[in-house]
Amino acid sequence: MEYRKLGRTDLEVSLIGLGTMTWGEQNTEAEAHEQIDYALSRGVNLVDTAEMYPVPPKPETQGRTESYIGSWLQKTGRRKDIILASKASGPVTDPKRPGHIRAGQTHLDRRNLTEALDASLKRLQTDYLDLYQMHWPDRTTTTFGRPGYPWKEDAYTVPIEETLEVLQDFVKAGKVRYIGVSNETPWGVAQYLKYAETRGLPRIVSIQNPYSLLNRSYENGLSEFSHLDGVGLLAYSPLGMGVLSGKYVNGARPEGARMTLFTRFDRYMKTQAELATAEYVQLARDHGLSPASMALAFVNQQPFVNSNLIGATTMQQLKENIDSVEVKLKKEVLDAIQAIHMRYPNPAP
């Protein structure tokens, strides 16, 4: 396993991080525990979750993923062996956001963040998080597949400065070691850094955004913050919700697969994304690589990536995903990837 610094901290996080959003929906508690045990045996130390998980978010399952991690911690006592990250839900600003958490009152203010963090810690059976992330902004912006800035006047948003003041108190209390953001924009990251600089508030160390062969929008703006300000990327959906594994090519819908079961991730299945995927899959096979390994290796080789958050529903998938750390793409493959990208730029934002 390869390790990289988390932002400008001294924390060494594994290049492959363990995503957990299927636990409690597509995976049982026993399967979740098996995944953690195996991942740790391979050198993975970053486990990422969220109060909202599992996905799709539903009232009857909300928080179950954290509870599965908590039961593993209680059973094994291995809290110091993992870097544990979770996320607080943002406000409900469109139908894709869950409205059942705290009755839809999920603004990033003191009352809601305090309730969110305390509930997460209780489910996780720990008294601190290594990384606490804001799952999405407290404003309407370009997240979760929006193709462009919506230019919407929100009735109410919590100022980023106010959110940081609350997070500062969490850090002082020892409940949180470091803070990060998720599904953020360049403007949002700049604001977080500005208030950290001018007000002495905690500095974000990471941003968890989508990044894959089908969505390289991180490179346009946000990667500069990684380079010059040390805000590392925790890349999620590196396989485009499994699409880049090639299992959905030519309209295939394998039984039990995510895209077969759920329709909420349809942005990865649109025409341009399907055309691009077919070319990436063929490129991998032409070079004797599995499509999933090539797609993950591409993410692993990016200098702005601190950790590549993989998610698996089977142990076979988990093993293949972790094995991607051993794959180094040659220049001819990278050049061919770039040529496909120029034909189909970011088809699944």
Which residues have a catalytic role annotated?
A: 53
| Residue (of 226, 224, 213) closest to 304 by Cα position | 226
Residue 310's H or E segment, with its range, is strand 305-310
CB 133 within 8 A of CB 86: yes
- DSSP string across 253-266: --TT-HHHH--TTG
DSSP 8-class letter at 249: G
Which of helix, strand or coil describes residue 219? helix
| Residue 179: closest CA among 12, 348, 6 | 6
**How is 103-167 classified by DSSP, letter by letter?**
GG---SSHHHHHHHHHHHHHHHT-S-EEEEEESS-SS--S-TT-SS------S----HHHHHHHH
* Alpha helix ranges (H) inside 42-92: 64-76
Nearest to 64 by CA among 54, 77, 78, 50: 54
